[in-house]
Amino acid sequence: MTNDTTMRAISQDTHGTPDVLKEVVLPRPVPGPSQILVAVRAAGVNPTDWKHRAGRLFLDRLPLVLGWDVSGVVEAVGFGVTLFKPGDEVFGMLPYPYGVGSHAEYVTAPARAFAHKPADIDHVQAGALPLAALTAYQALVDTADVRAGQRVLIHAAAGGVGHLAVQIAKARGAYVIGTASAPKHDFLRSLGADEVVDYRTTDFRDAVQDVDVVLDPLSGDTRSRSLDVLRPGGVLVSILAATDPEDAARAAARGVRVETLLVEADHAGMRAVAELVSSGALRAHVEAVFPLAEAAKAHALGETDRTTGKIVLTVP
């Protein structure tokens, strides 16, 4: 049972498979200067969550409460906060990676990690958006400066980041090409993709050329092969590990730029995402919703790598 000073959270004492995730009772956090306390209503689950759960990424501290996506209601504000008041509905991404902890009933974070939740979406939709949408926005807009008429290739286009990137690129006026398995092609066309390539049957280099921007959320040799489809002056934005020296040399020889992006908490970015949502240009596809207590089931589903869009945890 919890009281006014405690909360339920999903925590782990060791790295491993989804069954290391347990529901625990922890002290309810208190907002410090420039922070807000948010009563969590929904929180997305992203690949970074299950990779951290298994001990494969940045955070090595234990016990660990995962989760960066959050949509909820401001419960209290710390000293100096002027953007939000108690009762405001907000959504945002906790500072990545060290600000983790949204898979809980309450979370504190810098006020400027959040924006007001658009009134025309619910908390599940809002909780699905922040990390993936910010990744796509920071890659396509802040890093690649996608402009109207440019050709943009998005790999894993039906995934969490990919399906939002398709919509953001279309909102910028780009011609969008996505890679995905054949059963997901109609879904991508419904989001506005102009061309779709079945990566299982076709080497995208045989189907795509003269691309201005590539967004690559995949591992393996996708990044190396993507250099072959970029036109001079183009940019490849990867959201995984750094480019190897051979790729860097090939990129330089072809006159293209390769950037590796790590998503950052971003008030301006969240406001831009909110504006895209309010204009009808951006929606998250939610594959599945689980209550907080079933976080292990959400992780197990995500790790199949067969989901479309996002998985969300809800907090009653």
Closest C-alpha among 108, 102, 17 to residue 66: 102
Stretch among 54-58, 126-130, 216-220 having the lowest mean pLDDT: 216-220
For the chain, what is the mean pLDDT? 95
Average pLDDT over residues 269-298: 98
| Contact (CB, 8 A) for 224 and 209 | no
- Does residue 186 share a domain with residue 121? no
What is the residue type of 85? Answer: K
**Is 106 domain-assigned?**
yes
**Domain range spanning residue 13?**
6-129+284-314
Q: What is the pLDDT of residue 314?
A: 98
**Residue 125, exposed/middle/buried by CB under 10 A (0-12, 13-18, 19+)?**
buried
Report the SS3 class of residue 2.
Answer: coil
98 and 147 co-located in one domain = no
CATH of the domain at 302: 3.90.180.10
Determine the Cα–Cα distance for residues 309 and 301; give it in Å rounded to an integer: 12
> Is residue 25's pLDDT more than 90?
yes
Residues 116 and 179 in one domain: no
Q: Is residue 271 part of a domain?
A: no
Mean pLDDT, residues 50-69 taken together:
94
Q: Examine residue 29 and say whether the peptide bond preceding it is cis (omega within 30 degrees of 0).
A: no
285-305: average pLDDT: 96
Convert the pLDDT of each residue in 156-173 to its tens digit: 999 999 999 999 999 999
Q: Where is pLDDT greater, at 303 or 316?
A: 303
pLDDT at residue 224 tops 80: yes
Instruction: Tell whether the model's pLDDT for residue 214 goes beyond 90.
Output: yes
Q: Give the pLDDT confidence score for residue 242 in this predicted structure.
A: 65
Instruction: Record the tokens describing residue 191, joined without a space.
Output: 């989001």
In total, how many domains does the chain have? Answer: 2
